[in-house]
Amino acid sequence: MDSTNRCGYKKQAVDMNTSDFTYKVDRFADIEVLRYLVPDFEKLTLKQKILIYYLSEAALCGRDILFDQNNQYNLWIRKTLENIYINYVGNRNCPEFLSFEEYLKRIWFSNGIHHHYSTNKIEPSFNEDYFEHLLKSINFEGDENLLKSLIFNKNLAAKRVNLEQNTDLITSSANNFYRNITQKETEDFYASITNPNDKTPISYGLNSRLEKAEDDTITEKVWKLNGEYSKAIVHIIAHLDSAMDYAENEKQKQVIQSLIEFYKSGDLKKFDEYSILWVEDTVSQVDFVNGFIETYGDPLGYKASWESIVNFRNEEATKRTHIISKNAQWFEDHSPINKEFKKETVRGVSAKVITNAMLGGDCYPATPIGINLPNANWIRQIYGSKSVTIENIMEAYNKASYGNGFAEEFYDNDQDIQAWYTYGFATDVLHTDLHECLGHGSGQLLPGVSQDALKAYGATLEEARADLFGLYYMADPIMMELNLLPNVNAYKAAYYRYLLNGLMTQSVRISIGENIEESHMRNRQLIAKYVYEKGLPEKVAELINKNGKTYLVINDYERLRQLFGDLLAEVQRIKSEGDYEAGKDLVEKYAIKINPELHKEAIERYKKLDIAPYRGFVNPVYLLKKDSNGKIIDVVPTYEEDFVEQMLRYSKYYSFL
């Protein structure tokens, strides 16, 4: 899945007078909350609308699972703070209470006490005395010292996902995927139950917590009906069950049925069966993801966070990605990678553009803009994968950024700013299409090379591979031939933005002195810094100083494209050969450390713009219209709910753990 937050970075000439709809919902700390429209929902059939309604209910029922996965105390803390927030009768307008409110909003936004992106623990801006005062107001009974330590002691549960080399990644990570167990014991455990010769391996460890008991026995606590998280899963199953009655066709019914069976049994073989059925259903217009999917929350990549997204195909925009996928073989054949790493036949690239209707779990409120699933490599190889671009989310980002001053501050000249306004959105969606539809699916591993050979560097390099694929081809004449870009120079707007972002502006999301941790961000700096440094002797791109400010100038776009191609070839070689050392060198050299001066400057200039570095969304509320017999006659999305209202409502009606 691609990351959310290319935020604040988009701007395009759009007609702002077309509707009274307001995209902006809330702003606090480093967060801006937006809302998204669900265009063309009214054009769906009643049956499809009801299907979406029930799938959306299922999407909301797993929220507590994610909170608990992120840290074992998250739900306890959230409920305590909500209790205070709802019941406190003292002064609610004093700075301390507003700080408390902000802290709670941040926890809601991050699904726990750790920042959703940096995974560092969120620091409150009110003090312990004030918190004690708040606690008294609700007659709190529980371990007050533990609660206060979790909130105020920086060193306790400091980081949710620790990726730092030379530490025990498991014991130093505060997620709730492992208990009383070390990295070595975890790796040994999974090595002992994995058969390296298995051509169709299940995703070991995906849906369980690994625990070591006092007597040293190691067990997986499986997340399933009558297992862990059963109280939430039973509701998910019930809504999926209702949804099944409104499935668009027999195949979709099977998809939902097999997911229910997986939730009931916890059997990962069933999950693979479900994934295969899901990837094969390319006919239904309504689609959804619901389950334990992405493993970014586990530094070792075994355990998946719960997430859900409900959507329907945007028929008009999907034509664009059909053109891309129809030509998948051409792209593979002409890719600048070594021949032995190419797929002879590229299969199953099913690409579509979707309209998101509901976000849940790890997709909410911070939201992906693209999805590429399933994750199991062998299923992707045999059955292909589904790639989607979530256009209404991208559009909301885009429109909400209109006029935020970003380009005016960071761009070198008006021409580049204009190019961005004109082609920014078009190239952005196209890059996402190429990344998701072709990039991740391109290339192959040499025989005997493990999918996990690159270990902790794998995620960064995989994202780099997909991004580079998109960057390289965006400048290809074929884009004009296929009518995917309106102008032969349009790609330059994307190149400029990509380099600027990777070299400089993305760092505004990271505190001074810290390294880049998140794999999409690592990937972007890796690419930008690599091509910048390789191109320096020929001055392909330069960072120049004007009036004490640093600006990016790109002198040779064609050469830049070749450098993207060179790096793509190298990253593909590393992946295909499982060359861990080379992958490690590349990531360590280019992706992690930020240039301290540029970092400081970017933060100072960005601060003045007052743009939130992270953004996310509230969901619409779907109203059921019924006739006098109680029969559903319509489903209508509404867009009035604000962030706090939504969070409190979800906590009231969708909290089962």
CA 349 to chain centre: 21
Identify the bridge partners of residue 358 per DSSP, sorted by sequence position. 310
Three-class DSSP category at 546: strand
Smallest distance from Zn ion to CB 501, Å: 16
Nearest CB to Zn ion, comparing residues 122 and 369 = 369
Nearest CB to Zn ion, comparing residues 395 and 436 = 436
Residue with the CB atom nearest Zn ion in the bound state: 2
Nearest CB to Zn ion, comparing residues 2 and 517 = 2
DSSP state letters, 604-650: HHHHHHT--SEEEEEPPEEEEEE-TTS-EEEEEEE----HHHHHHHH
Nearest CB to Zn ion, comparing residues 294 and 463 = 463
Nearest CB to Zn ion, comparing residues 2 and 518 = 2
Q: Where are the alpha helices (DSSP H) in 95-182?
A: 95-110, 128-137, 144-152
Between residue 496 and residue 525, which ones bind Zn ion under the rule CB under 5 A?
none
Exposed / middle / buried, residue 541 (Cβ in 10 Å: 0-12, 13-18, 19+): buried
Smallest distance from Zn ion to CB 476, Å: 20
Helices 95-110 and 74-87 cross at an angle (nearest 10°) of 140
Q: Is 2 in the site for Zn ion (CB under 5 A)?
A: yes
Question: Which helix (DSSP H) or strand (DSSP E) does residue 582 occupy?
Answer: helix 580-590
Contact segment (CB under 5 A) with Zn ion among 129-137, 153-161, 413-421, 461-469 equals 461-469
Contact track, Zn ion, 86-105, x by CB under 5 A: --------------------
Q: Is 466 in the site for Zn ion (CB under 5 A)?
A: yes
Q: Is 219 left (phi over 0), alpha (psi -120 to 50) or beta?
A: beta
Nearest CB to Zn ion, comparing residues 176 and 311 = 311
Rg of the chain (C-alpha set): 24
Smallest distance from Zn ion to CB 575, Å: 13
Smallest distance from Zn ion to CB 372, Å: 6
Smallest distance from Zn ion to CB 370, Å: 7
- Signed CA dihedral, 406, 412, 414, 417: sign only: negative
CB 402 within 8 A of CB 14: yes
Smallest distance from Zn ion to CB 6, Å: 12
Nearest CB to Zn ion, comparing residues 107 and 516 = 516
Q: Is 293 in the site for Zn ion (CB under 5 A)?
A: no
Q: Is 281 in the site for Zn ion (CB under 5 A)?
A: no
Smallest distance from Zn ion to CB 432, Å: 9
Q: Identify the CA nearest to 521 among candidates 614, 393, 657.
A: 614
Between residue 597 and residue 626, which ones bind Zn ion under the rule CB under 5 A?
none
Contact segment (CB under 5 A) with Zn ion among 173-181, 351-359, 456-464, 595-603 equals 456-464
Could you give the CA distance from residue 623 to residue 87 in angstroms, rounded to a whole number? 28
Size of the site for Zn ion (CB under 5 A): 3
Contact segment (CB under 5 A) with Zn ion among 137-145, 386-394, 464-472, 588-596 equals 464-472
Smallest distance from Zn ion to CB 2, Å: 4
Nearest CB to Zn ion, comparing residues 68 and 462 = 462
Nearest CB to Zn ion, comparing residues 243 and 466 = 466
Smallest distance from Zn ion to CB 13, Å: 29
CB atoms within 10 A of CB 251: 15
Contact segment (CB under 5 A) with Zn ion among 2-10, 237-245, 267-275, 492-500 equals 2-10
Q: Is 259 in the site for Zn ion (CB under 5 A)?
A: no
Amino acid found at 392 = N
Amino acid found at 488 = V
Nearest CB to Zn ion, comparing residues 466 and 611 = 466
Smallest distance from Zn ion to CB 440, Å: 6
Contact segment (CB under 5 A) with Zn ion among 118-126, 346-354, 466-474, 572-580 equals 466-474
Identify the bridge partners of residue 221 per DSSP, sorted by sequence position. 209
DSSP state letters, 171-218: TT--SSSEES--HHHHHHHHHHH--TT-SS---TTTTEEEEE-TTS-E
Smallest distance from Zn ion to CB 117, Å: 16
Q: Is 373 in the site for Zn ion (CB under 5 A)?
A: no
Contact segment (CB under 5 A) with Zn ion among 150-158, 165-173, 448-456, 459-467 equals 459-467
Nearest CB to Zn ion, comparing residues 260 and 587 = 587
CB 367 within 8 A of CB 390: yes
Q: What's the token pair of residue 343?
A: 């797929």
Smallest distance from Zn ion to CB 523, Å: 8
Contact segment (CB under 5 A) with Zn ion among 200-208, 229-237, 287-295, 458-466 equals 458-466
Contact segment (CB under 5 A) with Zn ion among 110-118, 446-454, 457-465, 479-487 equals 457-465
Smallest distance from Zn ion to CB 585, Å: 22
**What's the count of helices (H) and strands (E) in the chain, helices before strands?**
24, 15
Could you give the CA distance from residue 176 to residue 73 in angstroms, rounded to a whole number? 9
Could you give the CA distance from residue 227 to residue 231 in angstroms, rounded to a whole number? 9
- 117's CB contacts (< 8 A; 6+ apart) are 5, 366, 509, 518, 614
Could you give the CA distance from residue 296 to residue 518 in angstroms, rounded to a whole number? 9
Between residue 194 and residue 253, which ones bind Zn ion under the rule CB under 5 A?
none
Contact segment (CB under 5 A) with Zn ion among 114-122, 134-142, 176-184, 463-471 equals 463-471
Q: What's the token pair of residue 161?
A: 């996902």
CB 324 within 8 A of CB 306: no
Nearest CB to Zn ion, comparing residues 2 and 362 = 2
Nearest CB to Zn ion, comparing residues 205 and 370 = 370
Smallest distance from Zn ion to CB 640, Å: 34
Length of the chain: 657
Q: Is 395 in the site for Zn ion (CB under 5 A)?
A: no
Phi first, then psi: give them for residue 424, nearest 5 degrees: -55, -50
The contact set with Zn ion (CB under 5 A) reads 2, 463, 466
